[in-house]
Chains A and B, each alone.
Chain A
Amino acid sequence: MTDALVVAGLCKSYGRPAVDRLSLTVRAGEFYALLGPNGAGKTTTLRMVAGLLKPDAGSIRIFGIDALAEPTLAKQVTAWASDEPLLYDRLSPMEYLEFVAGLWGVDPKAARARAEALLKSLGLWDQRSDRCETFSRGMKQKAVLAGALIHEPRLLILDEPLTGLDAGAARVVKGVLADRVRDGVTVILTTHILEVAERLADRIGILHHGSLLAEGTLAELKDRAGQGQGTLEDVFLELTGA
């Protein structure tokens, strides 16, 4: 089976290297958590994968598609959502989904059905006609997630999707993500909430100074850090020396 994401020798510099010859592979259908201290290069990496930032060097393949040579094809199967819910304040969630579905060319009938299902599963159905400007941060984050899912991407790239969510909203989002992974969707997520990675991720990568410091399942990382009985937090702090 083709890997969902293969990154090789990826570099990006803003005066000093933000991402430094990074190579990593994410398997299809995997929940992959990318962790790292502030400034480790997580967001820069994901932005390059999503086609939002041009790398200085390296290659990115998404389901075998060269994302730098064929960005449109790669984007067709990818979705991106960041910690800053960039929505249209003056649109309703339904109108937002209508636009996003148009961007990805989703069949109108299927788009309407999916929009309804997503808004219901994320608890936004009653607010489907309210303008997003009246929403809390958590509601906006959920609307953005609905937008990311409406075209049924094969690779879902999420940068800190749980930032600012209350416990209830976070549980809903985690549930939706877990369901998607069960359906075969690949999820790559960055988070500072280590409990999320610990519970949901099949594999975890730890970035430090723009390079992959360690990668593996939670058990493999614990072994490597000599933290057999410890938590992911212990492993993370041990490996990054924070």
Chain B
Amino acid sequence: MSGGPAFRTGSIAWLLAHEFRLVWRGLRQTGRATRRGWVLAAVFLTVTLLAGVPLGLVLRGAVVAIDPVSVVIGDAVLASFLTLMVSASLAAAVEAFYQRGDLDLLLASPIAPRRILTVRAVVICVNVFAGSAVLITPLFLPVALIGHPAWLATYAVLLGMALVATALGLTLSMTLLRVIGPRRTRAAAQVLAAVIGAALFLASQARYLFSDQQVGLAAALITRASRAGGALPAAAVWPLRALLGAPGPIVVLVVVGGLAFAAACAWVGRDFARAAAAAAGTGRAPAKAAGRVRFTANFFDAAINKELRLLSRDVPLISDVVLKLLYLAPLVFIALRGAASHSNWALPSVVAGMTFMTGQVSGSLAWITLSAEDAPDLIAASPVKSPRVRRAKLAAALLPLTVVLAPALGLLLALSPAAGLAAVGGCAAAALAGGLINDWRQSPSKREDFRRRRSGSFLLGLSESVVGALLAGAAGLAAWSTPLAVLPAVLALFALLGMRRSDAAIERDQMAG
């Protein structure tokens, strides 16, 4: 292991060089990754030229006044980014304890564990910063370069926030390890990260959970404060001022972030070796498999039992589904409220949202049952024909979704039969479509790759989203009772048929070895 001659062996810089070399080689590893890189670069460039540059020209002369409205908007945007960053850093920080990789080698070496943790923390911070920077750059960079160079300070703000988020992620993960123990921490952190990530969406939905009267009151209060021109608290104004390029707030934010980061590294680093050792030991303790074993000669029943057991014991999957159900919850609430009060203005959009999210959940479940088979040789060597196996797996993926959605759809049907019918049809079609796409386009993977499944197959992710969006449109229009609903439905059908592969073709791929 050599980080290059420029750094002293065993130093943080030397370890960082080693980490980044591994990351770089991972990126360059496959031709597929390179192709994906070119596609992303093309999308990035297109958005920059077609949307970013025109936006920059429009906003060239714009002046952002520091008033209560802009402060609230600025703070809300930064708070949203911070929740996403904390969610990402928490997930990554927990993995720093559990993922072995070269951790055993490093901890067995005479390098101080705190130094190893610091390097891991820097990598997490860089990833979190890069994720946000890449997200805003196509639209933001042209705006800043064309008319507002001072706004480039936003990148420094993001860096400060990434430092804070990494510190929070590390601190939270170590706290979880201490409070609930290494066995439960990984699962809890994944669910917590999902919930924090969803906080942004839930907050955005809050407006719909309140009555129009309550929303109007809040808006009036902000406007009154704006007109009064009273002094705002410095802590509320500084984030916006930092975004606009004021040096003082930027320096404070970055310094505070740096201090938080250093403090977290020092605190977590002190016990890092012990925590990592405890995390490594969790795999050896026997975990009992609860539930009765029911032998059956019926393959379909056996397959459903097996898949449902595996789904219910898959923590990353459960956290993903919980996240998506959290997205669904406000929609269902609004739909039921709208249906109950017969003020159906929101129903079509909510039905569309429910349909889309159903397709997404179905895609996740079907990917796990169909592509992430742990023992493909066992299935292939059995006397059960491949299409039967695939159908059983698809059924197992759709079963839990049906159980979760049935009460909400039943209630909606009772309150508003037309919208309920559209939602039932839309959700059923989306669930089936998400499942079928994953059946036809399955690519053998490991369960651990679940979170990266979309990056594994660009076509799969795109098709799921496009077909899901079209079906969502159809369901929404159907809830509106317009015959136009047929149009997106037919388009979805064509898109779905375009993805179809015959049983023989799928079997041929499975046998290709």
Contact = CB atoms under 8 A, between A and B. Distances in A.
Interface string B267-302: 000000000000000011111110101111111011
Contact of B289 (A51, A87, A103, A131): A131
Interface in B367-384: 374-384
A129 B378 contact: no
Interface in A56-75: 72-73, 75
A107 B297 contact: yes
Contacts of B376: 86
A177 B299 CA distance: 27
Q: Which 5 A-B pairs have the closest CB atoms?
A: A102-B302, A92-B289, A108-B295, A103-B382, A80-B381
Contacts of B379: 103
Interface string A123-167: 000010111011000000000000100000000000000000000
A24 to B, nearest CB: 20
Contact of B378 (A95, A100, A131): A100
B55 interface: no
Interface of A: 47, 50-54, 72-73, 75-76, 78-80, 82, 86-92, 94-95, 98-109, 111-112, 115, 127, 129-131, 133-134, 147
22 contacts: A52-B377, A53-B511, A54-B511, A54-B513, A78-B381, A80-B377, A86-B375, A88-B374, A94-B293, A95-B306, A99-B305, A99-B306, A101-B302, A103-B302, A103-B303, A103-B379, A104-B383, A108-B297, A115-B295, A133-B283, A133-B287, A134-B284
A52 B511 contact: yes
A115 B302 CA distance: 15
Contacts of A90: 289, 309-310, 313-314
A103 B373 CA distance: 15
A94 B295 CA distance: 9
A159 B284 CA distance: 27
Interface string B298-324: 110111011001100110000000000
A105 B513 contact: no
A19 to B, nearest CB: 12
B385 interface: yes
B513 A103 contact: no
B377 A127 contact: no
Contacts, number: 135
Nearest to B286: A130
A131 B286 CA distance: 7
Contacts of A88: 306, 310, 374-375
* Among B298, B309, B383: residue with most chain A CB under 10 A: B383
B35 to A, nearest CB: 23
A158 to B, nearest CB: 12
Contacts of A53: 511, 513
A37 B302 CA distance: 39
A127 B313 contact: no
A52 B380 contact: yes
A102 B374 contact: no
Nearest to A157: B381
Contacts of A78: 381
A54 B508 CA distance: 9
B377 A91 contact: no
Contact of B294 (A76, A79, A98): A98
Nearest to B285: A134
A101 B293 contact: no
Contact of A86 (B313, B314, B378): B378
A141 to B, nearest CB: 13
A91 B287 CA distance: 10
Given A87-B374, A103-B382, 20 more contacts: A50-B381, A52-B377, A52-B380, A52-B381, A88-B374, A89-B374, A90-B289, A92-B289, A98-B294, A100-B378, A101-B295, A101-B297, A102-B305, A103-B302, A103-B378, A106-B297, A129-B288, A130-B289, A131-B288, A134-B284
A130 B313 CA distance: 13
A86 B383 contact: no
Nearest to A79: B381
A85 to B, nearest CB: 9
Given A87-B375, A89-B374, A99-B305, A75 B289 contact: no
Nearest to A150: B295
B301 A102 contact: yes
Nearest to B297: A105
A56 B35 CA distance: 32
A104 B313 CA distance: 25
A98 B511 contact: no
A95 B289 contact: yes
Nearest to B376: A86
Given A47-B513, A91-B309, A75 B377 contact: no
Contacts of B377: 50, 52, 80, 82, 86
A72 B383 contact: yes
Nearest to B512: A54
B69 to A, nearest CB: 51
A102 B318 CA distance: 26
A144 to B, nearest CB: 8
A109 to B, nearest CB: 8
Contact of B382 (A73, A98, A104, A109): A104
A103 B379 CA distance: 8
B387 to A, nearest CB: 12
B283 to A, nearest CB: 7
Contacts of A99: 302-303, 305-306
A88 B291 CA distance: 16
B382 A75 contact: yes
Contacts of A100: 378, 382
Nearest to A132: B289
A79 B295 CA distance: 19
